[in-house]
Each structure stands twice: as structure tokens, then as C-alpha cells.
Structure 1
Amino acid sequence: MKGLVCLLLLLETFVFVNGGLNENEISQQLSSEDRRQNPPQTDTLRAEASTDSQQYCHLCFPDIHAALRELTATVTEQKEINREQKENIRALETRLRDAEQAAEQQTISLEELKKKTDETSNLTLSQVEELRKENRDREIAFSAALMESGSGFVGPFTTEITLTYRNVFTNIGNAYNPITGVFTAPLRGAYMFRVSVFGHGGVTATADIVKNGEHVVIAHADQTQGELNSSNGVVLILEVGDVVYVRLWSGTRIYDNTNNLNTFSGFLLFPLREDELCRM
């Protein structure tokens, strides 16, 4: 603006000195000078700036939308991953609780086993020996034949006699006495006994199993000629000290030889407790 004022002053001076210019010449000079001083660059720059801005916005906004869509997809995916991780964590926690419960039960079982082991290890030598003795006491069995050697008749007698079976095959527990022919119960329990008799020559052979002096069962055979034999057996409940033996009836006889034709046998089936006897 200052330059324009100066220019006008110069022109006025020039007109004054040279006799003046016409009005058109002054306007042309002013327009020429104005274009020279203020060239039309501003509008061009503004147009170029507007075009660049439109191109920039055209290029930037699609990228922003794409980035937003990608970010949204990433967030959704991360949420799904977090949900799966939470489910896995809950499953692991459940498995951990189950494992802890199983470990606790195993610990209890081990403690019980250790307790039983300790109780067993605390058994004294005397207790162990007592258990062994008790098992040995339960091993009771015997079997014997009438004659140790030779052959011959036994009987007849005018009274009943106790037969003594001297040829002992088995006598586990030594409860049978081959000298007296009597079995004495060393243990309360159920026992099985069996007797067999043999004779020949037209005789009667009769023998019975006796418990504490009382007749129980009989083995009897009667034949006028040839050979005869009979056998019988019984299960008896015996208290400690009860006796069992075989008694030959009066007026009868039996025959024996190395074939062991007459036998007496017995064995413990199983021991009995006091309460079991009360129920019988």
C-alpha cells in the first residue's frame, strides 16, 4: 500500500514536470504497476491448496475406516481368546480340585495303612509265638488201625470194652492216645469221627462211637457165614477235655490183619467261639 502511494506521488510529479498524462495512460500504468507489485499468485495457491486437501482427505479417510475395521476385528478376536482362556482356567481349576481330593483320599489311605503296619510291627515276639501256637492247636487229626502186626480176632467179651487202635497212621496234635484208644479234645470246636468194623466166620460185629460215656452212633453187621463189614460216622461238638472212643459190644467180635480192616479216625473241622455255641 505504501508503494502505491509513493508511485502516485511520482506520477503527479512527472505530470507536473512533463505537461501531464491523460487519464487512460495513468490507469494503464497503475494497472500495470499493480499487477507487477501484486501478481495473481494467491488464487492459484489457494486452488492448489484446496485440491491437495481434497486429495489428502480422499487418501486418508479410507485408511482410517480400514484401520477402524481392523481394530474392531482385533478386539473381537481378543475377546474370544480371553473367553476361551477363562474356560480353560475354569477347567484347570476343576481338575486341580479333583486332583487335590484324590490326593487327600490317598493320604488318608496311606495313613490307615501306616497305622495298621505300625500296629502289626508293635506285636511282641511273645504275641507272634502265641499266634503260631494257636494255629498249631487248630491242626488236629488222627487215624489208626486195630493191630500193629499179625492177624486175629478181638472178642467176644462178656461186657463192652474200649478198643485200642494201636497202628497209628496219623496223629497231628497228639490228641489221640493209642494206649487207651481215647481221643481228648484240646480245643472247643466241631469234629468229624468215623469207625469201620470187619468180621468173618458167621459172627456179629458191632461197635459204637461214644462221647463222654454216651452212645452216639453204631457200626453193625450180622452174618451167619462169610465176611461182613460196616462203617459209620458223625460230627460232634466238643468242649476242651471231652473224650471220644470206640466201644466193642459184648458177645460180638471183629477180625483184623495187615490189611487194616478195622479203623478209627477223627479230625477238627473248625474251632468254635463261645457265642457260636450259645446259638446252637
Structure 2
Amino acid sequence: MTALLQLLLLVSVTMASEPSCPSCSKYDYEEKVLERMIRMEFAFENVLKENKAVSETVEEDLTRIKEENERLHATVDVLKDQQEQAERRLVSLMEEIEINQSSTLEKIVSDSNTTLEQTIAAFNDIKDKIVTPLVFFHARSPLTNTLSTGEMIVYKTVEINLGNGYSSTTGKFTAPARGLYLFLMHTCTPPNANAYLHMMNEGSVVMGSARYNVGHYTCSSSQVFVQLDAGKTVWVQCSSGSKLFENSNYWTSFGGALIHN
């Protein structure tokens, strides 16, 4: 349509630019008409060439636009695929994180429970070691009242024996636990009688007691602290010929207690 308008415009301009020439011959007129037609043909060919060039340029542009459009569509498709893959990876990652968090929390709770149980067990163990066990005994009434030198006194009547450290068969106290013990012996003698006693620890004297009184029944008490290891023994024996006395009100006795371990 544009080429046709250009051709018509060219013809009208050409015809308008020709002056009237009434004095010219017929030959001259035909020659000029022919010349005009030739010029018009050349002009038309130029217009066709220009239109062809423009058409080719437009087709090339359209081809490039089409190719660019296809490339853009392909790029958009790739981006959409990448987005979908990213979304799937994100969902998978979130599920994995949730599973890992749940597993981690379960492990933390399990480890905490185990640590708590271990702490309680350790505390109980330490408590058992720190708390002083209850060890206490008190025995009275020797098997015999007349003692010879070196004779061990066996107190036959056991009033209390927590920890089972004292033996009424041997007269010895065997420490059930390591610690600091307080021992005591109470000795009663008849008038005009001697009482010489030693408290012994594994054959070593830890305390001595001597009693003699003229004309009276008398009693005396002695105490001593002894550090013992578990299994060590303490007893009372006569250091020299002695005579003891006992009735319902006056007891000759031997006792002790663990006061600190």
C-alpha cells in the first residue's frame, strides 16, 4: 500500500512539472512522453527495490523477534523448572530439618535423662560415703569378776549393738567402717579391791584406768578417741590382778560409737 501511494505521488509530480508546449511537434511530444515513462519505470523499479529491502529488513526483524521470543520462552521455562526444583528442595530440606530437630530433641532428652540418672547415682554414692553410718554399742557384766593379768574382759550382756561391731563371744569390737570413734569403759570395784585395766587397739594401749578405794564400793569412767580403719579391733583387758563389782545399780561396762568418718 505504501509503495502504490509513492508511485501515484511520483506520477502526479512528474505530470505536474511538465509545461504545456503547443508549438512542439508530435514527434517531440511522443519522445518526451516516452522519456517520462522511462523515468517513471526507473522510479518504480527503485521504489520496488526500496520496498523489497524494507520488506527483507522487516522479515529479518520479525525473525529475530520470533527467535528472541522463543529464547525468552525457553529461558522462562528453564527458570520455572529451576523454581519448581528449588521449591521441592526447600520442602525436602524443611522436612529433613524437622526430622533432625525431632531426633536432636529426643537425643537431648535421652542424654539429659541419662546424665540426671548418673548425677543422682553419683550423688547417692557420695552421700553414702559422706553420711556417717550408725555404729554404736554398749555391753556390760563381765563373765568373771576376778581377773588375772593380761586377761581380756568379755562383757556378756549386750544392751545395744548397731553395726554389729561388738562380739559378746570374744569381747572385742571390730570397726565396721573407717572413722573416728569414741570409746568408754565404766569400772566398779568392791571395798579394798584393785582394778587395773587397759583399753587396747590391735595390741597397743590407748587408755589405762586404775581404781583402789578403802572401805567403799566405787565406780569410775574413762573415755578416749581412736581413729580406726575398717576391720581394726578394740578391747579391754586386765593390766594387773583386779577384782570387779556389779549389781543392779552399778554396771561395769564397755561401749563406743562412730562419731565421724
- Per the normalisation by structure 2, the TM-score is 0.51
- SS of the residue corresponding to residue 237 of structure 1 reads strand
> Which residue does 1:181 correspond to in 2?
171
Residue deviations 1:98-138 (CA, integer Å, cap 9, x gap)? xxxxxxxxxxxxxxxx998753434798x899779768982
> Which residue does 2:232 correspond to in 1?
242
Residue deviations 1:206-257 (CA, integer Å, cap 9, x gap)? 2121111111112221112221222111111111221100112332111112
1:187 Cα deviation from its structure 2 partner: 1.6
2:112 corresponds to 1:119: no
Q: What RMSD over aligned residues (CA atoms) do the two structures have, in Å?
A: 3.2
Decide which of 210, 214, 221 is 1:231's aligned counterpart. 221
* 8 A Cα contact 1:156 1:253, kept in partner: yes
2:205 corresponds to 1:210: no
Decide which of 138, 153, 156 is 1:143's aligned counterpart. 138
> Which residue does 1:155 correspond to in 2?
146
Distance 1:234 1:116 in 2: 49
Residue deviations 1:132-167 (CA, integer Å, cap 9, x gap)? 97689822111111259xxxx61142x221111111
- Per the normalisation by structure 1, the TM-score is 0.47
* Shift in alpha-carbon separation, 1:165–1:134, aligned structure 2, 3 A: farther
* Shift in alpha-carbon separation, 1:147–1:209, aligned structure 2, 3 A: closer
* 8 A Cα contact 1:147 1:257, kept in partner: no
Q: Percent identity over the alignment? A: 24
Matches within 5 A, 1:1-280: 119-122=115-118, 138-147=133-142, 154-157=145-148, 159-271=149-261
1:188 Cα deviation from its structure 2 partner: 1.5
Residue deviations 1:11-60 (CA, integer Å, cap 9, x gap)? xxxxxxxxxxxxxxxxxxxxxxxxxxxxxxxxxxxxxxxxxxxxxxxxxx
Amino acid at match of 1:155: T
Amino acid at match of 1:144: A
* Shift in alpha-carbon separation, 1:117–1:166, aligned structure 2, 3 A: farther
Distance 1:168 1:136 in 2: 26
* 8 A Cα contact 1:147 1:260, kept in partner: no
* 8 A Cα contact 1:137 1:173, kept in partner: no
Structure 2: gaps of 5 or more residues = 1-109
> Which residue does 2:105 correspond to in 1?
none
* 8 A Cα contact 1:137 1:187, kept in partner: no
Amino acid at match of 1:176: Y
Residue deviations 1:61-83 (CA, integer Å, cap 9, x gap)? xxxxxxxxxxxxxxxxxxxxxxx
Tell me the matched-pair count. Answer: 152
* 8 A Cα contact 2:132 2:259, kept in partner: no
> Which residue does 1:102 correspond to in 2?
none
* 8 A Cα contact 2:142 2:153, kept in partner: no
Structure 1: gaps of 5 or more residues = 1-113, 272-280
